[in-house]
Amino acid sequence: MANVAVVGSQWGDEGKGKIVDWLSERADVVVRFQGGHNAGHTLVVDGVTYKLSLLPSGVVRGGKYSIIGNGVVVDPWALLAEIETLRGQGVDISPENLAVAENATLILSLHRELDASREDSNSGMNIGTTRRGIGPAYEDKVGRRAIRVCDLADPTVLDDKIRALLAHHNALRTGFGKPSIDGGEIRAALQEVAPKILPYAKPVWLQLDEFRAAGRRILFEGAQGALLDNDHGTYPYVTSSNTLAGQVAVGAGVGPSAVGYVLGITKAYTTRVGEGPFPSELHDETGQLLGERGHEFGTVTGRARRCGWFDAVLVRQAVKVGGINGIALTKLDVLDGLPEIRICVGYRLDGKDLHHLPASMSAQACVEPVYETLEGWAESTRGARTWAALPASAIKYVRRVEELIQAPVALLSTSPEREDTILVNDPFRD
């Protein structure tokens, strides 16, 4: 049995929540290993919709153990609010089935305020963040001044860390014309939330080592997507963490050998939230149609997603840098009824052909897509659960996607419902 890492192969919003929930039936443990509550996963289970941001998607399935790894930045107030919301929907969540890494970095109110100040500034470059403090928290982490979950249990250390943190942040606030923050306010807020969070605090790296030794099946759940990776994405229009499967080892506290199969969640077309390059973006009626049919609005922000044709160049690049073994192709049904469907198979830049996305920000903004046109299908694929239920043209489209991205389709999703999934290869048994 292979432990599986699920990652996005585009700009996020590929449908990871449903696939992770579907796979969690075969897993014993589900682990988030990067990002924060800027991630939005929507699950539809037996007609009930669950919206998750920080909690692993496996939490809605009974009998599973959920872990928030050290690579995640944790807003404790957002976490508690999410737990209460799900409890109100009948989901059982307690320290018995949820652990938060004791060495995870905390997101504070000052991080959210700094995030918003930067987005509102006149710097001329809006990244399009969720304004939830993710980036500033990661900055404090690598700057070695972050407050971590374990610090909540040690008042002496907490006082010293708050002073060091405010020495940095109050200087930034002065630059933005904001008033300084009093350390007492931060300390009081953390003291109030500490007894609610600390019961969940665990050495999750040790737990995971024990689970592996016992032969438990582990599902590692990524957030965002490969093109938002801080190193390999469309920088600087990226998130503040590494979103590739390689981050599993660091963000969960396991060795690279812990992952046996990497599943890339891939939408049958392309979407993006926020600013940044998007070579295959559509600004016409087809783009609007994809957005309407696909209900393309962010789970976290509610922002409308930009829509475009499937970009095989970008997904192939994600497959290569992310070590993706197979993909789960989602939202195929959104393409139903289109007379023809286009796939981006290359780029043109300054009169030259390119078969990868260049790293340069200016080059990324100027590449022109080269398209291949396929025949569409009039029949509905929605709810199909076998290959035999798919139109011939839809199967041809899927096979062409496989050829272009150089990775097989392991799962095919035909609606938001959990069971509307065609299983080709079970990642846990691959």
The C-alpha atoms of residue 176 and residue 86 are separated, in whole angstroms, by 37
The C-alpha atoms of residue 174 and residue 134 are separated, in whole angstroms, by 21
The length of the chain in residues reads 430
The C-alpha atoms of residue 5 and residue 261 are separated, in whole angstroms, by 6
Catalytic annotation present for 13:
yes
- Residue 58's φ and ψ, nearest 5 degrees, are -70, -10
The C-alpha atoms of residue 258 and residue 2 are separated, in whole angstroms, by 8
The answer to whether 315 touches 330, Cβ cutoff 8 Å, is: no
Q: Which residue has the tokens 């002065």?
A: 174
Catalytically annotated residue among 21, 37, 41, 111: 41
The C-alpha atoms of residue 168 and residue 163 are separated, in whole angstroms, by 9
Catalytic annotation present for 283:
no
For residue 297, give Cα distances in angstroms to 39, 128, 163.
Answer: 13, 14, 40
The set of catalytic residues is 13, 41
